[in-house]
């Protein structure tokens, strides 16, 4: 079997177009422009790239982008004061604090100081609890993107066996909750899982979120399974820098029914879902119906 490639780049463009349409409608019919505030503390090069990209895509879909760049030695008090200001600013519907934060800042305290209704990353403890109890919440962007691609490919996921490899708070756990919400039978695997190959071989859906280059070989994949590769790993091969996932793409693509490539799979969906979440937050804040197909 040769797997169908799930093109995350094209899918993300479709999601952004949907968001842009809805934003235009909101402006025209309600005079509202959704706004996303991104806070960056310090000068981590990767974070700077992400923040630039988020700002650019926010403007491209017609939303307002508010960037707040703070010095690396910004005090917790000053950061919390900025978040408080953004929480109370009606023009700001989404707030994202770029992680990781410098070591002297308490990440949990900072994230939990964001108004949960504006927490477009879905990391606030209230949103974690709401998702865990199957209630309306803000859903973390990367797992939301994975869910959208799975729903698009399969239609219903009900009754499917899903294995999520990785149990982080930002990917693995929310991914498992979302799959459970769509009535999959979910297994969460991690570094202590016994006989991981056997666990993975049972799955109709495999989501790999580990951070280990090409750790999942093709012979772990059940014939016809859908493989979602969240991993982003930089490696050097043949003297060149390369980006690879957590799945060995070449061998997995020979057995899977469908697979996301790296790059061009899950990655592009993450920012598209951030924009979708900002739109959702804006609609909720204004008592308007939520955009269809862009939420969990």
Positions annotated as catalytic residues are: 54, 98, 121
**Sequence-ordered strand ranges (E) for 160-264:** 161-165, 185-189, 205-208, 226-229, 233-237, 240-244, 258-259
- What CA–CA distance (Å, rounded) separates 226 from 243? 21
The count of chain residues that interact with ligand NDP, using the rule CB under 6 A, is 25
Nearer to ligand NDP by C-beta: 83 or 165?
A: 165
What is residue 228's three-state secondary structure?
strand
- Member of 212, 251, 284, 290 binding ligand NDP (CB under 6 A): 212
Q: Count H helices, E strands: the chain? A: 10, 11
CA separation for the pair 248, 173 (Å, rounded) = 23
If one asks whether residue 233 binds ligand NDP (CB under 6 A), the answer comes out as yes
189 binds ligand NDP (CB under 6 A): yes
**Closer to ligand NDP at the Cβ: 82 or 221?**
221
8 binds ligand NDP per the rule CB under 6 A: no
User: Which range of residues in 31-39, 106-114, 115-123, 191-199 is near ligand NDP by CB under 6 A?
Assistant: 191-199
Nearest CB to ligand NDP, comparing residues 68 and 167: 167
In angstroms, how far apart are the furthest CA atoms of the chain?
57
The pair of three-digit structure tokens given for residue 65, joined into one six-digit string: 């982008």
> CB 146 → ligand NDP: shortest distance, Å?
9
Contact 28, 287 (CB under 8 A): no
User: Does 213 participate in binding ligand NDP (rule CB under 6 A)?
Assistant: no
Can you tell me which of 61, 150, 203, 209 binds ligand NDP, judged by CB under 6 A? 209
Q: Which is nearer to ligand NDP, 153 or 288 (CB)?
A: 153
H/E run at residue 222: none
Q: Is 230 in the site for ligand NDP (CB under 6 A)?
A: yes
Q: Which of 171, 186, 206, 259 binds ligand NDP (CB under 6 A)?
A: 171
Q: How far is the CB of 210 from ligand NDP (least distance, A)?
A: 4
Q: Min. distance of Cβ 263 from ligand NDP in angstroms?
A: 9
If one asks whether residue 147 binds ligand NDP (CB under 6 A), the answer comes out as no
Contact residue for ligand NDP among 36, 165, 186, 205 (CB under 6 A): 165
* Segment holding 139, helix H or strand E: none
Does position 261 interact with ligand NDP (CB under 6 A)? The reply is: no
Min CB(165)–ligand NDP separation in Å: 5
Residue 5 CB contacts under 8 Å (≥ 6 apart), including other chains: 253, 258, 259, 260, 261
Query: How many Å apart are CA 189 and CA 185, to the nearest integer?
Result: 13
Q: Which is nearer to ligand NDP, 63 or 189 (CB)?
A: 189
In Å, how far are 3, 70, 248, 257 from 221, measured between CA atoms?
Answer: 12, 45, 10, 10
**Are 132 and 72 spatial neighbours (Cβ–Cβ below 8 Å)?**
no
Residues that bind ligand NDP (CB under 6 A): 142, 165-168, 170-172, 189-193, 196, 209-212, 230-233, 266-267, 270
């Amino acid at each position: 079997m040769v797997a169908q490639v799930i093109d995350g780049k094209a899918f993300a463009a479709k999601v952004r177009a949907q968001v842009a349409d809805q934003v235009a409608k909101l402006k025209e019919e309600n005079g509202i422009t959704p706004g996303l505030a991104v806070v960056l503390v310090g000068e981590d090069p990767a974070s700077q790239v992400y923040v630039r990209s988020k700002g650019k895509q926010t403007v491209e879909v017609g939303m307002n982008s508010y960037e707040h760049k703070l010095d690396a030695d910004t005090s917790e008090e000053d950061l919390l004061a900025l978040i408080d200001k953004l929480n109370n600013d009606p023009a700001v519907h989404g707030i994202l604090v770029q992680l990781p934060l410098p070591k002297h800042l308490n990440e949990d305290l900072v994230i939990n100081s964001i108004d949960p209704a504006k927490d477009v990353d879905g990391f606030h403890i209230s949103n974690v609890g709401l998702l865990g109890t199957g209630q309306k919440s803000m859903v973390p962007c990367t797992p939301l993107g994975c869910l959208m691609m799975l729903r698009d490919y399969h239609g219903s996921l009900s009754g499917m066996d899903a294995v999520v490899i990785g149990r982080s708070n930002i990917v693995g756990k929310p991914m498992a909750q979302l799959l459970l919400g769509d009535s999959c039978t979910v297994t969460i695997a991690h570094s202590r899982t016994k006989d991981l190959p056997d666990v993975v071989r049972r799955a109709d859906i495999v989501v790999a979120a580990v951070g280990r280059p090409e750790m999942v070989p093709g012979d772990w994949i059940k014939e016809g399974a859908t493989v979602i590769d969240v991993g982003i790993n930089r490696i050097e091969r043949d003297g060149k820098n390369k980006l690879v996932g957590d799945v060995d793409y070449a061998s997995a693509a020979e057995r899977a029914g469908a697979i996301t490539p790296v790059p061009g799979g899950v990655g592009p969906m993450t920012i598209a879902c951030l924009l979708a979440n900002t739109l959702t937050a804006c609609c909720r804040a204004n008592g308007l119906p939520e955009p269809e197909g862009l939420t969990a």
